[in-house]
Structure formats: C-alpha cells, structure tokens
Amino acid sequence: MAELPLRASFEYLKKLAKDRLDELRQLDPHTKLAAAQLSVAREHGFLSWRALKAEIDRRHGGGAAAFFEACEKGEVGILSELLAKDPTLIRTEKMDADYGGWTGLHTAAQAGHVEAV
C-alpha cells in the first residue's frame, strides 16, 4: 500500500487514475474510470475515491474555502497570501450544481473581479 503524501495533489491522483484506466482497459476494454479511481483510492488505504478526496480536502484545511471566498470578493491580497502558502489552490475545484467543477478563476470572473482573475 502506498502512503498518501502529506501535501498530496488531487490533480496528480486524477492523472494517476487515468493512467490506471489505460492499464485496466488492456485487460477489459469496458472498464470505467470509477474502477480506476477505486483502485487508486484503495492503493492509498481508502475505501473509496470520495473518501480519498475528502482526506485531501481535510489536509488542505480551510484553505480551499478561504480561497474561493477571496475569489468571490476579489480580495487580491488574500489570494496572493493563500497561493503563496499553497500553490495547488489554483487548480482546486469545487462542485457547482450548474457548472460542475468550478475553479477560483471561474468564481472571480463571474463576480467581475478582473484584478483577482
């Protein structure tokens, strides 16, 4: 079992799952992405992909929530501080009922904060 790094990147794990999907499809061409995600999650000691994502979110603390709030409000100074502490926030996605994966860039742009964008 591979240990999840302290500052694990969810983007990296998603890429790992896609690579795993390619491997699994060599054995069964009908394999779904969910099977590859589950394989990666279990390899790192989690019962599900969702549990793995929840752990990564927990490890990032309230950083993601503060990041999206700063994007919404156009608080460039706070955004700079947060990104200096955790550059992976730039790729962090939150799920939105209307738009699916939503980044800080989307949030700031929708709110009209050009400086934050």
Please state, in angstroms and as integers, the Cα–Cα distance from residue 116 to each residue in 8, 41, 72, 78, following that order.
26, 34, 9, 10
Q: Tell me, yes or no, whether 4 lies in a domain.
A: no
Indicate if the pLDDT at residue 8 is higher than 60. Answer: yes
Whole domain around residue 79: which residue ranges?
63-111
Among 59, 81, 96, identify where a domain stops: 59
Say what the pTM is: 0.55
Whether residue 48 sits in one domain with residue 31: yes
Whether residue 52 sits in one domain with residue 72: no
Whether residue 52 sits in one domain with residue 31: yes
- What band does 31 get if pLDDT is binned at 50, 70 and 90? very high
Whether residue 55 sits in one domain with residue 14: yes
Residues 6+ apart with CB under 8 A from 109: 117
DSSP-derived secondary structure letter, 106:
H
Please tell me the total count of domains within the chain.
2
